[in-house]
Amino acid sequence: MRPLAAHRATLTALTALAPVSWGTTYAVTTEFLPPDRPLFTGLMRALPAGLLLLTLARVSPRGAWWWKSAVLGALNIGAFFPLLFLSAYRLPGGMAAVVGSVGPLFVVGLSALLLGQRPSPRTLLTGIAAAFGVSLVVLQAAGALDALGVLAALASTASMSTGTVLTKRWGRPEGVGPLALTGWQLTAGGLLIAPLAVLVEGAPPALDGRAVGGYLYLALANTAVAYWLWFRGIGRLTATQVTFLGPLSPLTAAVVGWAALGQALTPVQLAGMALAFGATVAGQIGPRGKGPAGTRTFSSSEKPAPKDSKVTLVKVG
């Protein structure tokens, strides 16, 4: 393997650790955390992680990045976390994961609007295949659907997809690393959730040892480390490539359910896992050659383009 290809494979693998970690969120939420507290759970996941990363980075936003961090924090964290946990609490059988698996299609559409990247038929087919594969994995155990849960899952997916594309469009300030950018967003999102949690859910619930351990895991490994890897990947890969790693989250949830919770996997589910994983791999393969499809993707740490220039991403397909 050539050095450039090896570097990209390593970067992709490290970025993929984020959705793999997020795939454990459902099991941790149902097995360790207090029930029906989506806002408090989102707060405990976001704010401690954000403050930790801010302490490590020791860099504050400057200029326009105060409002950009607030917008990204609201989309990627402040709205996404409560909606995600609300859907996880209310939807059975991994339906939240199925709705979330359409994220690549959302990102493809938003990339066309905000990044000037026209989707190829291959990209659309790959996104549909990923969503279909995930549905085969998690829908068999689904019972009656909760309308509020479905709306929350759709809204969380749309919020995270918009945040992913804007993160790619805006990059990050020169000299500022992904650690600081992640800390800004997590802190902004956590501060947005805090007053809502108090107003809607009241005082924090009593926590036993299992709940404390669950929240520590969510804040550190599942959020601080995972989101740092995710935003680092967004800065160096295309938005489409990053979002096509998303189906790894419900696939991981299915594997955790099988390995840790004693849930059986049928042949249809195994076929769905193979299809979704194949679509994930296909979403990382870019074309060879020059021209628009082979345009270089710059790291967000490089000098930004002028305001009137178009940001071009490498097409997938």
| Tens-place pLDDT, residues 292-311 | 333 333 333 333 433 333 33
Whether 311 is covered by a domain: the verdict is no
Asked whether the beta carbons of 157 and 103 are under 8 A apart, the reply is: yes
Q: How many domains does the chain have?
A: 1
Residue 283's domain comprises 3-294
Whether 35 is covered by a domain: the verdict is yes
Tens digits of per-residue pLDDT, 116-147?
A: 878 778 878 888 887 777 777 666 555 556 77
Tokens representing 175?
Answer: 């000299």
pLDDT given for residue 79 in this prediction: 93
| CA–CA dist 202, 243 (Å, integer) | 35
Length of the chain: 317
Tens digits of per-residue pLDDT, 246-259?
A: 888 877 877 887 77
Q: How far apart are the first and last CA of the chain?
A: 22
Whether 270 is covered by a domain: the verdict is yes
Q: What is the mean pLDDT of residues 196-206?
A: 92
Would the pLDDT of 74 be above 90?
yes
Tens digits of per-residue pLDDT, 210-243?
A: 999 999 999 999 999 999 999 999 888 887 788 8
| CA–CA dist 186, 65 (Å, integer) | 14
Amino acid in the structure at residue 181: L
Angle formed by the axes of helices 25-32 and 80-90, nearest 10° = 60
Asked whether the beta carbons of 101 and 148 are under 8 A apart, the reply is: no
Q: Taking Cα atoms as reference points, which of 94, 74, 100, 73 lies closest to residue 27?
A: 94
Average pLDDT, the chain: 80
Tokens representing 154?
Answer: 């759709």
Whether 83 is covered by a domain: the verdict is yes
| CA–CA dist 286, 270 (Å, integer) | 27
Asked whether the beta carbons of 30 and 261 are under 8 A apart, the reply is: no
Tens digits of per-residue pLDDT, 155-179?
A: 988 999 999 899 989 988 988 999 9
For 3, residues 6+ apart whose C-beta sits below 8 A from its C-beta are none
Q: What is the mean pLDDT of residues 2-15?
A: 84
Would the pLDDT of 46 be above 50?
yes
Asked whether the beta carbons of 30 and 90 are under 8 A apart, the reply is: no
Selected residue with higher pLDDT from 36 and 301: 36
Angle formed by the axes of helices 3-22 and 226-236, nearest 10° = 140
| CA–CA dist 94, 232 (Å, integer) | 28
Asked whether the beta carbons of 16 and 248 are under 8 A apart, the reply is: yes
pLDDT given for residue 265 in this prediction: 66
pTM, two decimals, is 0.77
Whether 13 is covered by a domain: the verdict is yes
Sequential DSSP letters for 73-136: HIIIIITHHHHHHHHHHH--TTHHHHHHTTHHHHHHHHHHHHS--PPPHHHHHHHHHHHHHHHH
To the nearest whole percent, how much of the chain has pLDDT over 90?
A: 36
pLDDT given for residue 31 in this prediction: 86
| CA–CA dist 294, 296 (Å, integer) | 6
| CA–CA dist 252, 260 (Å, integer) | 11
Residue 64, φ and ψ in degrees, nearest 5: -65, -15
H-only helix segments in 238-296: 239-243, 248-260, 267-282
pLDDT given for residue 226 in this prediction: 95
Would the pLDDT of 8 be above 90?
no
